[in-house]
Chain A
Amino acid sequence: MANIEIDWERLAGLGDGTQAGTGTQRELVRLFRESCEIGVAQIREAMDAGDRIRLFKSLHKLRGGCGTLGAVSVSCAITELERLLETGMDVSPSAGLARIESLISLTSIEFTRKYPETTEAA
């Protein structure tokens, strides 16, 4: 399995330290999955349409959400793709997106392991 980096401290800090706080994190983890699904769909749409501006905006958006929740590996992969696209290098955005999707899945598994109730909520 790939080495997934997650900033657990950041994710823990998003709650208030109480039982309800843990519930907050479970809710956020559930929303992480939903938000990533929407984000990836938007990126794919922009790629299919060849809309570079929309592609960058969608990547920005997804990176912001992932970074805020401590999904470091996903966030870094998005940054990397953004940089490659910015430099105009001959890269395949779809290969980059596939990597991002894979990292999202792995991060989601780790999140679910830490906050198991999210499986039921999903």
Chain B
Amino acid sequence: MHCLLVEDDTLILTLLKGFLTRLGHEVTAVTSGEAAWQAFSGSPFPAVICDWDMPAMSGIELCKRIRGMKGTQYPYFILITSFQGDGKIKQAMEAGVDDFISKPIDLNLLSVRLQVAARILEFQSQIGILKDLLPICMYCKKIRGDKQYWETVEAYFKEQTGADFTHSLCPDCYHEKVRPELDSIRKEIADGKSEPR
């Protein structure tokens, strides 16, 4: 996941950058809210990990600006804080923060939080696809999914939602397809062209 890391304390910044890189994330690290806003405006990031308390533009202010951007994919916003208390948390949640990590930073906890972030962003991406128009073959009814290959409706929805299909018959298809087929088999048996099974 490409993370935008924002922290004015170079100690924490270096520590987190190294850790996130070791976890396999791509990291763009900046030391101020303004630099983060510039970077995000240029090309949005799926995840933002940002310190709360920074001079000029705080983490909350950055989050508000990002949430105010229209037409971009929803980024997961984690706020680093050494503040405690419900009032501060409420303020952050109202600004659009998704999660918190407190100082002293527990790196294992951050790793778990990022796994949750990845899962939520994946769900969001799936919802986005389902909301969009799906290309479907007008003959065989296969669907072209986000991986750009054609797959059956069953396979597509199983992949997107985890739903399993149980095959059944609708009344229309029974009358239009199955019944004529059964009648044809019965006729063949009656005519002696086929043996009953």
Hey, which bits of chain A sit against chain B, CB under 8 A? Answer: 10, 13-14, 16, 24, 27-28, 31-32, 34-35, 57, 60-61, 63-69, 75
Contacts and interface: CB of A to CB of B under 8 A. Distances in A.
Given A60-B82, A63-B82, A68 B10 contact: no
Contacts of B11: 28, 31-32, 34-35, 65, 68-69
A10 B106 CA distance: 9
Given A31-B11, A64-B104, A24 B18 contact: yes
A75 B104 contact: yes
Contact of B9 (A10, A16, A35): A35
Tell me the interface secondary structure of chain A in the complex. Answer: helix
Interface of B: 9-12, 14-15, 18-19, 22, 53, 80, 82-83, 103-105, 107
A85 B22 CA distance: 40
A31 B82 contact: no
A60 B83 contact: yes
Contacts of A66: 104
A68 B53 contact: no
A67 B103 contact: yes
Nearest to A29: B11
